Amino acid sequence: MEKQKKDCSWNEMNSYKQLEIAGGKRMGIKASDALPLSLPLGLTNKVFFVMFFSAAYFLMTRWREKMAMSTPLHVVSLGELVAIVAQLASFVYLVGFFGIDYVQNAMVGIGDDDFERREELKSRACIDEVVPCSERERETKQVQVQLIKGVAVGENSDEDIAAAVCNGSVASYSLESSLGDCRRAASVRRRALELMTGICLDGLPLEGFDYDSILGQCCEMPVGVVQIPVGVAGPLLLNGLEYMVPMATTEGCLVASTNRGCKAIHMSGGATSILLRDGMTRAPLVRFASAKRAADLKFYLEHPNNAEALSHLFNRTSRFGRLQGIKCAIAGRNVYMRFSCSTGDAMGMNMVSKGVQNVLDYLQNEFPDMDVISVSGNFCADKKATAVNWIEGRGKSVVCEAVIREEVVSKVLKTTVGALLELNMVKNLTGSAMAGAVGGFNAHSSNIVSAVFIATGQDPAQNVESSQCITMMEAANDGKDLHVSVTMPSVQVGTVGGGTQLASQAACLNLLGVKGANAESAGANAQCLAKIVAGAVLAGELSLMSALAAGQLVNSHMKYNRSSKDVKTTT
């Protein structure tokens, strides 16, 4: 019958194994047993320490006096003789005491003082049986692995390799290269994590994922995958074409709300989305000895006569990266150079960074006193809500608009044009201004941007600047209908590279018809994706604002996102 063991911590179990290996049996020998002492051990040690250093100090003082008086050192007085004997005696004691203790510890590891600790750990350590992880018990058995020399790591069992990862014999990050099997590496790393933490990972899926596809580009040291449900909103009628928009989210009502906005747009004839500019940025930081030299670099970079040469240096690092311009900002003797370039269908961060580095290498020869501080000086600005992105743009700058007919506002959105106009003014515009928002003049654009980004393999962290948006609502057609628009100056998306190549994300891109690079026009697919993101944001803004204007928000979230209880009757 399988015995159930008590939980024991990893440290306790590891300590027990070290004691067990080092000792093997009860050791009753102490280092101090080799020295016959009449005084307590602690006091004896103090006496000999004081004796050693006192004698050394006395002898050094006497020898310094003899050297000053030209007295031979071999002429020794009675006091000096006593000091020499005392120092030798204390030295012999100290070497003998600590030497015996060191040798004993090196050979057997533990003594009588450790025996009770070893017995306690033995009684608590779970070393005989391992409770199955499926029973949600903590794993407590540490396997001591000695990988055979000359034998490949992969020829050992997964359990032994996991234990070797635990004790440091095998590096976790090297499992893929050592085993030559990314799926097995993830499994072994996951098992090692369970052994080290004692935590069961049954709820984290391992199967059904191509771990080879992320090696060296998406995620290091994987132990499983996280599942996020993907819904679709649509059809979104945009620029005369219909799109079913994939949205990966765990928030209730979000897809349903966006879908309602898509319906309102479709019934009103569709939306129009326009690309205003397309340029990814990177801003290196350099420093000079003086502000004058910093200004010299600024004038050099912004002079029209140097543009062609700098563009050639930048463009030769990529087939698709093309330098559009450089804008400089100076803070004292520091120069922030904001490079902007087109990047084809890639989001382009690596592409622009490579081009920037090539230009910096050239500038180092032209300005030998230039000190490169960082390839990114935060004037880019990446993954931060900034005024420079709001004003100058980064990535794709897009505007999307639609005219929603009065009857659609009434029947589908359950509100009125007048109510939406007033709410947008006091909430999205005035309310955001009161909060000091930077590009936050909207209801919830980040909700839609994040959901579409995750579904299509974009960098979720770039939601920060990509969701900068101003939502405008105005009366149209003599005040009957509603003109609604979203302006998004910093949407950063790509259809090649990064997470876009993973099977699930590629399927979502394929659903939108923008998967991979566009064969006819470089960058067209990524630009189309940015327009779709803006169209989905327009639908989401329209629906949420209508729910707020009609007072439906709380009830809908209680019904679909949290509870079916009637909030009016809840006490």
**C-beta pairs of 432-438 under 8 Å, 24+ apart in sequence:** 438/385, 438/386, 438/387, 438/390, 438/468
Catalytic annotation, pick one of 383, 384, 483, 559: 383
17 labelled catalytic: no
Torsion angle, alpha carbons of 210, 211, 216, 220, to 10: 140
Helices (H), 31-129: 41-68, 78-108, 112-124
Rg (CA), the chain: 36
Structural contact between residues 345 and 495, judged by C-beta atoms closer than 8 angstroms: yes
What residues form DSSP beta bridges with 242?
237
Structural contact between residues 332 and 294, judged by C-beta atoms closer than 8 angstroms: yes
User: Nearest-5° angle of CA 187, CA 226, CA 495?
Assistant: 110
401 labelled catalytic: no
155 labelled catalytic: no
CA–chain centroid gap for 161, Å, is 27
Q: How many residues does the chain have?
A: 571
Catalytic annotation, pick one of 101, 251, 401, 474: 251
Structural contact between residues 316 and 359, judged by C-beta atoms closer than 8 angstroms: no
The two beta strands, 469-476 and 440-441, are: parallel
Identify which of 291, 380, 377 has the alpha carbon closest to the alpha carbon of residue 330. Answer: 291
**C-beta pairs of 424-429 under 8 Å, 24+ apart in sequence:** 424/471, 424/472, 424/473, 424/545, 425/473, 427/545, 427/548, 428/470, 428/471, 428/545
251 labelled catalytic: yes
SS3 of 266-311: HHCCCEEEEEEEEEEEECCEEECCCHHHHHHHHHHHHCHHHHHHHH
In single-letter form, the type of residue at position 424 comes to: N
Catalytic annotation, pick one of 382, 459, 481, 541: 459
Within 8 A by CB and 6+ apart from 174, the residues are: none
Catalytic annotation, pick one of 30, 483, 557, 559: 557
Cis peptide bond prior to 106, omega within 30° of 0: no
Rounded distance between C-alpha atoms, residue 30 and residue 77, angstroms: 40
The set of catalytic residues is 251, 383, 459, 557
